[in-house]
Amino acid sequence: MAGWSHQKRVAFEEAFYAFLSQCRINSKNLGFVSLGDNLYWGQRHFITKTLDGLEEDKHDIYCLKSRQLGITTIARALSTFYLGIHKGLSGALVFDSNENKNLARDELVTMVTDLPERLKFRQSRKTIGTVLP
């Protein structure tokens, strides 16, 4: 099996950055901001290295990170985008506490519901926040 072609990687990367330019988050320091206009170096590096891995046919990607780099936020945005553009694909996130689950849900709901209509993902909003027993 081959990894993503360079053409597929570039197309995905361009589309993801376009999504990020419209994706809003509630920043601790700045309030509601466009994620794409406020990316940290570490977030850009994470995106680049993740896409490098997919281009090299690597599908188990691990990220060892410290706090306050925005990696969790960008990973959620990447997951949301990936699931949103692939009709019928579903995903799940697991959390260590209800507090972290609720914070993540709020962030994901904001990312999806604040998108302009032309970028909205049809199936995502109704399923965000579903909790399994």
Categorise residue 88: left if φ over 0, alpha if ψ from -120 to 50, beta otherwise: left
Does residue 43 sit in helix, strand or coil?
helix
Q: Which residues pair with 32 in a beta bridge?
A: 26
CA-wise closest residue to 84 among 34, 130, 119, 39: 119
Instruction: Please state the domain extents for the chain.
Output: 6-127
Amino acid at the residue 53: G
pLDDT score at 133:
38
Give CA–CA dist 103/130, Å, rounded: 14
Q: Are the CB atoms for 71 and 42 separated by under 8 Å? A: yes
First CA to last CA distance, the chain: 37
Tell me the whole-structure pTM to 2 decimals: 0.83
Give CA–CA dist 8/2, Å, rounded: 12
Q: What is the pLDDT along the chain (133 residues), one digit of tens a residue?
A: 688 999 999 999 999 999 999 999 888 888 889 999 999 999 999 999 999 999 999 989 998 888 888 999 999 999 989 988 888 888 888 888 999 888 888 888 888 887 877 776 755 444 454 444 3
pLDDT score at 130:
45
Degrees (nearest 5) of the Cα angle 106, 111, 115?
140
pLDDT score at 1:
62
User: What's the token pair of residue 108?
Assistant: 């994901």
